[in-house]
Structure 1
Amino acid sequence: MRYILTIVSVLALGAPAFGQTVDSQGASRLTEALSRYVTADAFGKGVLAVAVDGDAYRITVDFTALAALLPKQDLAKFEIGAYSFKVKPRGDGKWDVAGDLIPNGSFEANGPDGLQKMQWTVVDGKFEGVYDPELAAFVSGSGSQTGLTMRSSDPKSQMDASIGAGTLTMEGTKSATGGVDFTSKQTMSDFLESIKVDDPETGINLPVTIRAREVSLDATGKGVRTKPFLDLIAFGVANGEETRLKANQAELKSLLRAALPFWDRIDGSYRFSDFAAESQVGSFGAKEFGITVGMDGIGKDGTLNYTFNVTGPKLPEQLLPAWSVPLLPTDISLSIGGANIDLDAVARKAIEAFDLNQDPPISAKVGAELSAQMMANLPKVVISRSIVRNKDSEIGVEGEVTFPDGKPEVNMTIDAAGYDKIVEALQAAAATDPQAGQYLPAMLAVKGFAKTLPDGRVQWAINRAADGSVRVNGVMLKPADPPTPEADELQDGGVSEPGQGDGGAILAPQ
């Protein structure tokens, strides 16, 4: 649903509300404003049209006219109804936007493996919102549908999906740092997807059914540079021909620099409630299952984060030894990311250096310089507090990996509550299952390196230094790696005599 609102915003790009009077002259001005972003040909060939509709303008997308422009040999069938929505000028310069969610349709196309088909139906899909040309974004918006079904197939697979009622809300405001801050939330009920793969060549016959009581998608953005993005789209439309693009690449570079850092921060998450997946090997599931991704824009000290959360995971117990079932986690939260990510200097140098009159546009020399610049300032890997928990125990881990002089240095802390209960469970299981006994020596050895904390937890502080040495709670487990001949040469400041290779004489500097 949010993607349809994005399409609407693209069609309403930068078009100011021309006061309260709606007439044919206003429709012409709106057509001219939109042509900057979708080309005048889109209107001339009937793909897009603007017409007066009462106190608003109706913008119509004719997918049949669009299909007529596509290669006939690739598109075997194309049946999508015309899509339209109304835009009404407001006294404050914004636009009221309202329309259907998406037209029903189907198409068939010839792909590399044969005929590919897709069809979809949306029931009672509606949306409305307020679009601000000054921000190039919706300041508010909402949408809903009562149902959606989709089917796609090719010669080796078929997918059927459906969702029940769904809603979307979103809002945008002017950011203090430039651009737009936005939030959006979408929920869909009764998600169901069935996938069947039947490939005689490989022998794969794999039916899978995925379902969830509810699926939610949340997104936030800070400082998204919407207007510079629109300027880039307009440039692409005006310079579609290769000769014009090459001739005006100085303007393109200026627009790219103006769009940096693209955004300050963007975060998005998917969450499945009462998730279940049924396959030939058994049923998998979770009470809650979610993934969150966040990233800064292109800057000098950016971050990137991935978080994976599962509550109440379920695995096919017939695939597991009976003694392991009580040890399975009830909650999992894993968080990993990167920090100190410096892409600003690299991006600006690449923009400055590229030349569309050359092939490749970025020379091998500049490419090597960019690579060396990135390797000289590697980001660090950060593991934020992550846990695996069940009713009797909890294991946590956090730390970071840095790369001084290009070599990894690891500083990580692992702690556990209820570690003895895990050992006791393995000891009890070992009496009847030799497989459980195989894990006991390792578990006891690991416990021997642990430090007991005041709250009863046991902890392992692990350090892997850049020289290769490894310590656990200050006790060295592995000494530093022996120096290599190459490292000795660099340390001595010498170089190999030409033609002698690694065995050549070392020449001390004069």
Structure 2
Amino acid sequence: MRLNAIVLVCAVVAGMAEPALSADITQQGADNLKRDLTRLLPKDAQKNGSIKVNPAGERYEIIYDLDKMLKTFGSHAGLSVSGLTPWSIFATPEDGGLWKLEGDNSLDVSGTIKAEGQSTTDFSYGIDSYVFNALFDPAISYLRSGDFSTKAIRLTSKTDKEEVKVTAANSTTKLTSSDNEQPGRTNFAASGSMTQLFESVSGTDMPLVEIRADALDFAAAVNGVAAKELREIVAFVIAHADDKKLKRADSEKLKSLLRDAFPLVTSLNETISFNNVTVSAKDGSGGAKSIDYNIAMAGPTNATRFDVGVAAQGITLDSALVPAAYSAFLPQSFSMQFSMPDMDFATFGDELLKMDFTKSKGSDEAGKKAFEKLFKDDNLVIGFPKISAVSSMYDVDVSGELRGHSTSQKDYSLDASILVRDFDKTITAIQDLAKTNPDLNQVSFGLMMAKGFAKTDADGRQRWDINVAKDGAVTINGQVVKGAD
């Protein structure tokens, strides 16, 4: 295992694990705090002044020398960075052993990445202002609450073939936490927004594309986090970062830590919404009033459900690539939801802990077995609770479930329901287009055949309940369309 930037950052956070015992601000207190912040870092980082702590009135000033920290974990031969300046964070001891953390910093760096066999990349990253006020709890080595804001974020990346620019005006984030009903576990929640997003992409092989959004809003929650156990795992990884392989005793220790931490979380959910999105390119423009994305995971460890969804409303497209006669068939709204129900993380974890961390060989096979256990002996189930598309010419809803195996593309079954409103209107529209495009006559004929299998629901929609059995047999609304293979 090699120490990298992510491990280094985790070390800084996990290192502040001692409670604020005294409100007296002293040099000895500063020295103790520095010791805690650097105790998990490499020895070079403890000596080269990457982190300094000084008394500052009624609080401590923690100075992170970002340039020295970058060099601590080993600067890549092909990486050069300029403009890194120290950041200051002020820490004030609070009642109950907590720390109040405050900061107001900025960032304006640029650099170059040269990788063998790849194009040189020039990049820059800047933030005019990054302000935060947070409450840190050493008992869980994480923030209990906090308010964060940024102004004028900008990022550029350029190679000899492509250039990307990203900017955002302002962002705000609010973090809260609470004790989980399970002792020793913590719930975290965050929400916030970012305004005036802009991205442009251009290159030698593609014309300029510009993407804009008035705002991005997000909300997320992670419940039942094993914060203390995660801190111990981070400490273990850092302590063994340079080990090529673990000793038997260390392997058992890691398994014990993982066992205590499992499950890492009991549930999670996240939603992201883009408002007033526009896309401009050489061949046309388009956009949507809103684009929403969500993920969620919940349920007992032996029957966990994972959901992901995306939806767009108020979709528009203005392009010469789409003839006017066909524009009415473009969806005005669209949504898609998928799920993976009944995942067995309990058995997955048990199987994973059978791995021998003292050996590198055989880990892929062990991981494959654990993956199969996750889906209960490789019985993979993918649900699609809702896939819908609406335009002035159609209104379609699809739902169902696909069952199979992750190791095979043949042995599967499908149950699906298709509901269509105003199906006759759709058929008529296709027939009108077929007058100028005869190729659509076949589409029209296929829709007429499908109508013959349809049932009519109480709300007037046409319904097709479709079953595809593992033996290849297909039925629609109970009628056999195809026999077994």
TM-score (norm 2): 0.89
1:463 Cα deviation after fit? 1.0
Distance 2:141 2:69 in 1: 25
- In 1: Cα distance, 2:34 partner to 2:484 partner: 70
Residue from 317, 342, 345 that aligns with 2:344 = 342
Q: Percent identity, please.
A: 24
Instruction: Give the letter aligned to residue 383 of structure 1.
Output: F
Structure 1 CA distance, aligned partners of 2:35 and 2:259? Answer: 27
Map 1:122-141 → 2, pairs under 5 A? 122-141=127-146
Q: Please say if residues 278 and 284 of structure 1, whose CA atoms lie closer than 8 Å, have aligned partners that are also in contact.
A: yes
Residue 154 of structure 1 pairs with residue 166 of structure 2 = no
Map residues 440-451 of structure 1 onto 2, 5 A cutoff.
Answer: 440-451=444-455
Tell me which of 57, 61, 69 is aligned to 1:58: 61
Kindly tell me: are residues 279 and 436 of structure 1, through their superposed partners in 2, closer, same or farther at Cα, counting changes over 3 Å?
Answer: same
**Which protein is bigger by CA-based radius of gyration?**
1
Compared with structure 1, are the counterparts of its residues 298 and 195 closer, same or farther at alpha carbon in structure 2 (3 Å cutoff)?
A: farther
Q: In 2, Cα distance between the equivalents of 1:108 and 1:298?
A: 47
SS at match of 2:97: coil
How far apart, in 2, do the equivalents of 1:59 and 1:298 lie? 42
- Once the two structures are superposed, what CA deviation does each residue of 1:208-260 show, in whole Å capped at 9, x if it has no partner? 11111112232111112222111111112223342784252211111111121
> Cα gap change, 1:217/1:288 in structure 2, threshold over 3 Å: closer, same or farther?
same
Asked if residue 376 in structure 1 is aligned to residue 377 in structure 2, the reply is yes
Residues 281-430 of structure 1 aligned to structure 2 (within 5 Å): 281-296=283-298, 299-356=301-358, 358-360=359-361, 362=363, 364=365, 366=366, 369-370=369-370, 373=373, 376-391=377-392, 393-403=394-404, 407-430=411-434
| 1:457-486: CA deviation from partner (whole Å, max 9, x where unpaired) | 1101111122221111000111112xxxxx
CA apart distance, 1:165: 2.0
Structure 2 residue 16 is matched with structure 1 residue 16: no
Aligned in 2, Cα 1:124/1:372: closer, same or farther, shift over 3 Å? closer
Q: Distance in 2 between matches of 1:252 and 1:129?
A: 31
CA pair 437-368 structure 1, distance change in 2 beyond 3 A: closer
Matches within 5 A, 1:202-213: 204-213=205-214
Q: Distance in 1 between matches of 2:244 and 2:388?
A: 56
- Return the letter of the residue paired with 1:292: N
CA-CA distance at 1:348 after TM superposition:
2.1
What secondary structure is seen at the aligned counterpart in 2 of 1:408?
strand
Q: Is the 8 A contact 2:10 2:234 kept in 1?
A: no
- Report whether the alignment pairs 1:117 with 2:118: no
Q: Could you tell me whether the CA contact under 8 Å between 2:81 and 2:109 is conserved in 1?
A: no
Amino acid at match of 1:291: Y
Instruction: Identify if the C-alpha distance between structure 1 residues 478 and 426 changes in structure 2 by more than 3 Å, giving closer, same or farther.
Output: same
| Residues 1:318 and 1:342: Cα distance change in structure 2 (over 3 Å) | same
Change (3 A) 1:244 1:105: same
Task: State the one-letter code of the partner of 1:376.
Answer: D
Q: Return the offset for 1:396.
A: 0.8
**Correspondence for 1:263 among 265, 268, 276:** 265
Q: Which moved more, 1:400-409 or 1:234-243?
A: 400-409
> 5+ unaligned residues in a row in structure 2: which ranges?
1-5
Aligned residues: 470
1:224–1:264 CA distance, 2 compared to 1 (3 A)? same
Amino acid at match of 1:396: D
- Change in Cα spacing, 1:55 to 1:371, as seen in structure 2 (3 Å) is closer
What is the RMSD computed on CA atoms of the aligned residues? 2.7
Once the two structures are superposed, residues 370-394 of structure 1 have per-residue CA deviations (whole angstroms, 9 ceiling, x without a partner) of 4664572423111112321224642
Give the equivalent residue in structure 2 for 1:192: 198
- Per the TM alignment, residue 31 of structure 1 is displaced from its structure 2 partner at its CA by 2.4
Q: TM-score, normalised by structure 1?
A: 0.85
Q: Which 4+ runs in 1 deviate beyond 4 A?
A: 6-9, 366-375
Structure 1 residues not aligned, in runs of 5+: 199-203, 482-510
Evaluate the alpha carbon distance shift between residue 8 and residue 120 of structure 1 in structure 2; reply closer, same or farther with a 3 A threshold: farther
| Aligned residues of 1:327 and 1:422 also touching (Cα < 8 A) | no
**For the residues of structure 2 that align with 1:436 and 1:345, how far apart are their CA atoms?**
52
The 8 Å contact of residues 332 and 388 in structure 1, kept in 2 or not, is answered as yes
Summarize the Cα distance change of 1:363–1:280 in structure 2 as closer, same or farther, 3 Å threshold: closer
Look up the equivalent residue of 2:131 and give its one-letter code: K
Counterpart of 1:221 in structure 2: which amino acid?
A: V
What is the Cα deviation at residue 121 of structure 1? 2.2
> Pick from 169, 187, 193: which aligns with 1:181?
187
Partner Cα distance (1:67, 1:182) in 2: 30
The C-alpha deviation readout for 1:11-37, integer Å capped at 9, x for no partner, is: 664231223122122222222323344
Secondary structure of the corresponding residue to residue 209 of structure 1: strand
The answer as to whether partners of 1:9 and 1:131 remain within 8 angstroms in 2 is: no
Report the AA paired with residue 198 of structure 2: L
* 1:486 corresponds to: none
Q: Which residue of 2 aligns with 1:97?
A: 101
CA distance in 1, matches of 2:103, 2:384: 45
Alignment-derived partner of residue 274 in structure 2: 272
Distance 1:138 1:367 in 2: 33
Contact 2:11–2:238 (Cα < 8 Å) also in 1: no
2:389 partner letter: V
- 1:32 corresponds in structure 2 to 35
- Check whether the contact 1:13–1:230 (CA below 8 A) recurs between aligned residues: no
Within 1, Cα distance between the matches of 2:225 and 2:56?
Answer: 33
Does the aligned pair in 2 maintain the 1:317–1:325 contact within 8 Å?
no
Task: Tell me which of 74, 77, 80 is aligned to 2:78.
Answer: 74
Write the distance in 1 (CA, Å) between the matches of 2:55 and 2:425.
Answer: 74
Query: Contact 1:300–1:340 at 8 Å: present in 2 too?
Result: yes
- How many Å apart are 1:335 and its aligned residue? 0.1
- Alpha-carbon offset, residue 85 of structure 1: 0.8
The answer to whether 1:165 aligns with 2:167 is no
The separation in 2 between residues aligned to 1:243 and 1:209, in whole angstroms, is 46
